Amino acid sequence: FAESLRAGAEQLAMTNAHAHGVSISVGVALFDGGVDELAHVLAAAETACKAAKDRGRNRVEVYQQSDLSIVRRYADIGVAGQLREAIDAGRLHLDAQLILPLAAAETARPHYELLLRMTDEAGRTMGPDSFLSAATRYQLMPVIDRWVVGHVIDALKPRAGVLEGRALGFTINFSGQSLNDEAFADLLIEQVESSGLDPALFVFELTENATVANLVRAEALMRRLRALGCGVALDDFGTGLSSLSCLRQLPVTMLKIDGSFVREVLTDARAESMVRAIAQLARGMSIITVAEYIETEAIGIRIAELGVDYGQGFAIGRPIPLAEVLLELPLPSEPATGPADTHGGREARHSRLVG
């Protein structure tokens, strides 16, 4: 029936001389239960319909458990709902993962990458791998990015005086969807300018793919951020076909080498060559390099030998709540927390990596 409906609409468009092109995308889900299952079946049919549109339109798709793409889309509907509830209920929070220099240098500046977490209704913490697909599919990333920027600035503002003059930085990710949001760039600049914080504290990070997909907007925003005094990072660098031309055009201050190269650096000669080449190229352009996914001491040592400036990963430090990092930066009226190591032994690990 669904296929005959689709074909009939197409035939109608062909026989009416004044008609425009017409196509129908149809999603089908089987229903053999009671009223309680009706909502689930309607959601499954809607999911299949959206899959039909994604796969070229003017087609029929049937919801099947064996179709992983459709099943993932169906799961994303529920996750998107949870995410909206978490935003409204204040159940988002930020962790911070240390980014340390791999070689001793007086001018080296440790950073923290800020990582989003969501707490569900049962109190379980979910990492971005659990909800970013849904957030992207249902256009929630601009809302999330605005929340992150606002939350970070609100958390740091009371410590502006303590942070001034400290060799410290915070790396903040934002999405390609926000890049396409005309109001986001102005909001971002205004929030940094009015915060009273040193703009040099911030490095704003975009993936290489998101940047290349909207190069004009990306370049314009990056130049505004650089003029303000912020840093700009390209994440997942090295996998795109446009990596080199992109790098020549954009005013980036930091390259984060794609993790696929870092993970294989001890076992794959090509991965090692890519890491070395990126490090050499970046150094010639006065751009800082960061290797993510340093999960073992051996990887960290080799990455340092290849000339990469900074490292990030479990061998450097595991993510901890941003609130714990801020305990080391007391409010002006508070005493310092003392010598407690809130970074899980970062100094010991760092000394092993740099020799």
Q: What is the pLDDT of residue 345?
A: 45
Q: In this structure, are residues 2 and 28 in contact, taking their beta carbons and an 8 Å threshold? A: yes
Q: What is the pLDDT of residue 240?
A: 72
Q: Answer whether residue 351 shows pLDDT above 70.
A: no
Q: Is 76 exposed, middle or buried (0-12, 13-18, 19+ CB in 10 A)?
A: buried
Q: What is the pLDDT of residue 114?
A: 98
Q: What is the pLDDT of residue 239?
A: 79
CA–CA separation, 304 and 168 (whole Å): 21
| Rounded average pLDDT over 257-276 | 96
Q: In this structure, are residues 320 and 342 in contact, taking their beta carbons and an 8 Å threshold? A: yes
Q: What is the pLDDT of residue 35?
A: 38
Domains defined for the chain, CATH in brackets: 2-64 (3.30.70.270), 91-354 (3.20.20.450)
Question: Looking at this protein, which amino acid is placed at residue 190?
Answer: E
Q: Where do we find the tokens 């009015």?
A: 194
Q: In this structure, are residues 350 and 312 in contact, taking their beta carbons and an 8 Å threshold? A: no
Question: Looking at this protein, which amino acid is placed at residue 178?
Answer: S
Q: Which pTM value belongs to this model? A: 0.77
86-127 per-position pLDDT tens digit: 999 999 999 999 999 998 654 567 899 999 999 988 899 999
